[in-house]
Each structure stands twice: as C-alpha cells, then as structure tokens.
C-alpha cells in the first residue's frame, strides 16, 4: 500500500472512534485527546487537500467550546486548553477563517492568567497552581508565537513568547543530555521522565519563534533536542521511537505522545535546508506500516496491542508527517 493510501486508511480508522453526538473521539478518554485528534485530522487535510472530513471541524468545535468552565476550551489544566487552541490555529491555517484564531487567542489569554513570579515566571500546569512543568510552557510558547505569526502588526504576543522562551531556557528543564525533563520541584529540574511529547512541542515552538524573529540560534537549540531524541538509546532504541512507558503498557495519555513528537519534528525538518530528520520520520512510518494498519497500536515496530483514539491519532500524525 502506498503511503498516501495508508494515511487515508489510518484517518478513516481514526474516524471510526468519532462519536458524533458528543463531538468527541471516544468520549470516555481524556478530553485533550479529542483536541489532539482534531489537529491530526486537520494536519492531514492541510497536507493532502483531502477535505472529506472537513465537516468534523465545526461540529466538534461548536460542541466542545461549550463544555467546561464557561466555555472556549477552558479546563482545569492549562495544557488541555492549549492543545485545543493549537488545533484551532491549524483550523485557521486550513480554512483562513479568522474566528478560529479568535478562539485560539482566548485560550492563550486563559493560559496566561496562570503565569506568575513563582520560580521566576512560567505558567502553572493546573488551576490549583501546584506544578510548573515543561508541557504547559512549551505549548504556551508555541501558541503565542503562532498567534503572532498570524496576526499582522502584533507585538504583544511576540513579547510574551520571548519572555516565555527566556524563562524556559533558564528554568533548567532542558538537561545536559539535550532532553527535556517533565518539570520543576522547588524551582529546579525534578529529573522527571523525558516523555517524547516534551521533546516534540518545544521543536514546533522554536520553529514558530524563529519564523517570528529570524533568529537561527533558535533552530540550533531545536536541532540539539531533536538529535538527542532521535539518537537516544532510551527514546529511540534500534532507531524506532519508543515511549518510556511502552514496556508497561502506558497509561491513557502516553499513547498520544509519539505522534506529537513526530508532528513537531516534521515542522522542524521542513524548515531545515538539509532535511536531516526525514530519514528518521520515514523509518518510523515504514516500521509502523509493516507491523500493522489501518489500525495502529502502541508499538511502531509491533507487535500490535490494541487500538484506541490516542494510538490511532499518533499513527495519523506519523503517516501525515511522512507524506
């Protein structure tokens, strides 16, 4: 099967998990994963021009924007809000409709309410303000830079993005191996797991920030993180991207992470003239396609374990990136 046909088959299979009455993929699964599945679908449509499932965009947004905390995708964790906001940025890229960008901006404003001076800055992961971590701040950085790049005359989003990047770089979460740990404890790197999505979102964030500033030093940092991940015996054993929790079956969230990494690695690779990560992305796609499909499990080198929205959206991310 060609890569194009495999990608479409994976999208069709992902839509098999879509619940039209609720506007979610598998309503029993974590809410943020429906936002991530929506982005995977939008990325596929943008890459291929295949818009058969475009109806899903408005159907999902109009239901899900109203479900929590007064609406507009506000949630009790800042990363949940930011995942949806970034999907809406992609909806704007696909359709050119400004209303999607306006909703994404409300997400950035909500996340920004949880920035304070604890640990010198950064946004909290949760509304209870118990934890400052990598993912919420990476997403906030990417969202701010993305909004700036799509808003003529903006300076405020760029100023906040640069402040966020300076804080992140000084936080210590980027370790000496070039990998990002999970977060901070007592304002220092907690040595937490180097989840693949933490290595990924920062790549896409730095691509957007470099687009805004023209600063190639940002891409040098991104390349260091990307190379550390793709050559890591821990995260890429045998050259195949592997989530740290795969050996124990992973929890509800972790099966989404590899697709997020590949999506952002692809964003980086496409702005680099030598396309250094293209062979790595293609290797993942070939491995996954040889082991399974159109439904995909947790292990991209096999064996197939089971299918769900998180696993399938990761596969859609991967196959779209490889196109």
Domains of the chain: 3-322 (1.50.10.20)
Task: Answer for the pair 102, 92: CB distance below 8 angstroms, yes or no.
Answer: no
pLDDT (tens digit, 9 = 90+) per residue, 112-122? 999 999 999 99
pLDDT above 90 covers a percentage of the chain that reads 97
pLDDT (tens digit, 9 = 90+) per residue, 4-23? 999 999 999 999 999 999 99
Task: Answer for the pair 64, 23: CB distance below 8 angstroms, yes or no.
Answer: yes
Distance (Å) of CA 86 to CA 172, 205, 295, 322: 25, 11, 25, 21
Pairing label, strands 18-19, 24-25: antiparallel
Average pLDDT over residues 250-276: 97
* Whole-number pLDDT of residue 288: 98
Q: Cα–Cα distance between 178 and 197 in angstroms, integer?
A: 14
Contacts of 121 (CB under 8 A, 6+ apart): 115, 163, 164, 167
Q: Cα–Cα distance between 16 and 128 in angstroms, integer?
A: 36
Q: What is the pTM of this model?
A: 0.98
Signed CA dihedral, 4, 211, 263, 141: sign only: negative
Q: Mean pLDDT for the chain?
A: 97
* Whole-number pLDDT of residue 94: 98
Beta bridge partners of 185: 188
């Amino acid at each position: 099967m060609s890569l194009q046909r495999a990608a479409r088959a994976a999208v069709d299979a992902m839509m098999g998990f879509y619940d039209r009455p609720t506007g979610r993929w598998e309503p029993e699964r974590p809410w943020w994963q429906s936002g991530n599945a929506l982005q995977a679908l939008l990325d596929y449509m943008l890459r291929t021009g295949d818009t058969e499932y475009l109806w899903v965009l408005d159907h999902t947004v109009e239901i899900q924007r109203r479900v929590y905390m007064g609406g507009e995708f506000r949630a009790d964790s800042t990363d949940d809000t930011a995942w949806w906001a970034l999907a809406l940025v992609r909806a704007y890229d696909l359709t050119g409709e400004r209303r999607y960008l306006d909703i994404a901006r409300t997400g950035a404003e909500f996340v920004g309410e949880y920035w304070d001076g604890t640990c010198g800055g950064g946004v909290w992961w949760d509304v209870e303000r118990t934890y400052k971590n990598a993912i919420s701040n990476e997403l906030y950085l990417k969202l701010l830079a993305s909004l700036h790049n799509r808003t003529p005359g903006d300076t405020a989003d760029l100023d906040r993005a640069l402040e966020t990047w300076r804080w992140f770089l000084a936080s210590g979460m980027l370790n000496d191996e070039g990998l990002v740990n999970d977060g901070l404890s007592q304002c220092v790197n907690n040595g937490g797991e180097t989840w693949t999505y933490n290595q990924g979102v920062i790549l896409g964030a730095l691509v957007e920030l470099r687009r805004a500033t023209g600063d190639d030093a940002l891409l040098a940092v991104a390349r260091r993180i990307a190379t550390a991940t793709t050559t890591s015996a821990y995260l890429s054993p045998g050259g195949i991207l592997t989530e740290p929790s795969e050996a124990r079956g992973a929890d509800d969230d972790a099966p989404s992470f590899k697709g997020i990494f590949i999506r952002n690695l692809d964003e980086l690779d496409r702005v680099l003239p030598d396309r250094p990560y293209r062979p790595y992305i293609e290797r993942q796609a070939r491995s996954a396609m040889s082991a399974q499909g159109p439904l995909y499990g947790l292990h991209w080198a096999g064996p197939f374990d089971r299918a769900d929205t998180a696993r399938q959206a990761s596969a859609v991310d991967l196959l779209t990136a490889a196109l």
